[in-house]
Structure 1
Amino acid sequence: MSERRRVVELLPYDLEWKEEFAKIKTMIDSYIGDLILRIEHVGSTSVEGLAAKPVIDIDVVIESYDIFPKIIECLEQEGYEHEGNLGVEGREVFKRRCDDGLMNYHLYVCPKDGKGYLEHIAFRDYLRENTKAREEYEVLKYKLAEAYRDDRDSYCNKKSEFVESILERTIYHQEKE
């Protein structure tokens, strides 16, 4: 279910997160698989060895916004509510209106060339490939979770500088060349 937790709770990496993602992916694919390009596991739970909040982040990748009205229609029929982009360009948020018996998750629909999707993939892949960066990020996350345990927004905002530094080394560095 995509219910948001108010308290910041970090857990050590859990191999079950991959299995939970696979279950959610299968369910989403059964709803809209014929309309999409792929379903990606993003966010900290997708990075082996990285502590994370126990919430799976999922990007459903579409060719373009041309198909988006049909995506909304299909997901609404399956119990999701479109919440808009919530201030992030290239990422549309869907919230589950009922308990589906699965681990908590965030569902995003993104065009393949959308900023939200490209940043999610660049950050995920960089952390997967760079042990030092992954360890630094984990230390930062634990420090922030302790300092902002009851303030999820501040916890997220304080991670932004680190995330932006990785994006500058990856996708935005390439644009400047």
Structure 2
Amino acid sequence: MLRIGLTGGIGAGKSTVSATFSECGGIIVDGDVIAREVVEPGTPGLAQLVDAFGEDILQADGALNRPALAAVAFSDDEKRKTLNSIVHPLVGHRRSELIAAASDDAVIVEDIPLLVESQMAPMFPLVIVVDADQELRVRRLIEYRGFSEEDARARIKAQATEEQRRAVADVWLDNSGTAGALVEKARELWYQRIVPFAHNVQQREPAQVTPRLVPYDPTWPDQAKRVLARLNTACGHRARRIDHIGSTAVPGLDAKDVLDIQVTVDSLDIADELSEALLTAGYPRIESVTEDVAKPVGRSTVAEFDHVTDERFWRKRIHASADPGRPTTVHIRVDGWPNQQFALLFTGWVGANPGVQEDYVALKLRVSAAGHHDTGAYADAKERWFLDAYGRAWEWADTTGWRP
């Protein structure tokens, strides 16, 4: 199944997007609904809240008085942390039960108000944030939900900032317009990106991408950070390091809009063990690619691999994103092998040498003009240049003392 994280600040319009996704066929796991469920009368959750905040948070019939709880719990950071420490584990357990009951081909939309605050974003192959201007959100809370202005601002202040949400957002849905406009944005997102993404994961296929050279995008580093966080969560301790590599990692360099990420592991057996975890994270394996092109003179900063010509030391595993909205190639290579070392070296060498950058961009323009229709053909067409670049890069490393 494909799991999507949906979040947004109070009053931003997240419920409208959630309802739209439900109409489109998504299975909605609503954090707000679950949060109410786990503190209903007679539940352990309500008992814990009473122990922490007193019986003044109860109505006469024994049910939770939510405004009274909010007035207490959002009055300072420590009380808010106490509230979250009680409710979050209960919500998480119930969420897991609902997901386990869904079919294997479902698209699960996890509607989580505090997704950012609880640092859950890396758990999801796709994170969608719904946002609106703060003053507009305050007006909505007053007009439609009966908040006082003071309470509305306190609730907004207690949540993540716009900057924090943007840092985790794969998709940013602005809801400064009408509800109808937001519905149309959500439906377009569902059918143009989410449905193809889910299909690709189900079929264990990467999204099909036609390489196209574009000017350097200053958001590439932030996009890469989200991918790195996602892969760190998927790989855990089995990855020695995970790096943003390739052209999009070089500031100012024109490149095809495909992020390259290298996961360094201790062996190819470990790389194979990661296959299902990476699929769940949205990165199916490309079975047809098992190695890089061996260079005439192997080289590594690890002494035993100096002058290696054995093609075994150029083997790898490769995965690619199933998300058509964020093309990404994940190279899994063994620590210290020549291909792993060169991937790190290449980014440093190109970034430090403007003349190399100009030469490389000229090569890309020639290759792009030749009309290669997939990333594999695009890479193959550049290989002759890389054969020469391999030796030049290591000469630069020797001269500068570069180390990975």
CA distance, structure 2, for counterparts of residue 127 and residue 133 of structure 1 = 6
Q: 1:5 aligns with which of 209, 219, 231?
A: 209
Give how far 1:114 is off: 2.8
Q: Secondary structure at the match of 1:107?
A: strand
- 2:241 maps to what in 1? 38
Unaligned runs of 5+ in 2: 1-196, 198-205, 292-313, 399-404
Q: Distance in 2 between matches of 1:114 and 1:41?
A: 18
Whole-Å separation in 1 of the counterparts to 2:379 and 2:385: 11
- The two structures, once aligned, show a CA RMSD in angstroms of 2.7
User: CA shift at 1:151, angstroms?
Assistant: 4.1
Question: Aligned pair count?
Answer: 171
Q: 2:318 aligns with which of 83, 90, 93?
A: 93
**Structure 2 match to 1:159:** 382
Q: Which residue of 1 aligns with 2:33?
A: none
Partner of 2:274: 71
Aligned partners of 2:350 and 2:357 also within 8 Å:
yes
Asked if 1:141 is matched to 2:345, the reply is no
Q: Give 1:138 shift.
A: 0.6
Letter in 1 for 2:371: R
In 2, Cα distance between equivalents of 1:18 and 1:173: 25
**Structure 1 residues 28 and 169 mapped into 2: Cα distance closer, same or farther (>3 Å)?**
same
Please state how far the C-alpha of 1:139 moved relative to its aligned partner. 1.5
Residue identity in the other structure for 1:82: R
Is the 1:12–1:51 contact (alpha carbons within 8 Å) kept by the matching residues of 2?
Answer: yes
Higher relative contact order (CA 8 A, sep 6+): 1
Q: Please state how far the C-alpha of 1:104 moved relative to its aligned partner.
A: 1.2
Unaligned runs of 5+ residues in structure 1 are none
In 1, are the aligned partners of 2:257 and 2:327 still within 8 Å (CA)? Answer: yes
Residue identity in the other structure for 2:320? K
Deviation (angstroms), 1:22: 0.3
Look up the match of 2:251.
48
| Aligned-partner Cα distance in 2 for 1:151–1:80 | 21
Match of 1:119 in 2: 342
Deviation at 1:80, TM superposition (A): 3.7
In our comparison, the structure showing a higher alpha carbon Rg is 2
C-alpha distance 159-68 of structure 1, shift in aligned 2 (>3 A) = closer
TM-score (norm 1): 0.81
Q: Is the 8 A contact 1:3 1:104 kept in 2?
A: yes
1:173 and 1:129 map into 2 onto residues whose CA distance is 10
Cα shift at 1:72 = 2.4
TM-score by length of 2: 0.38
In percent, how many aligned pairs have the same letter? 22
Q: In the superposition, relative to structure 1, how do residues 141 and 4 fare at CA in structure 2: closer, same or farther (>3 Å)?
A: same
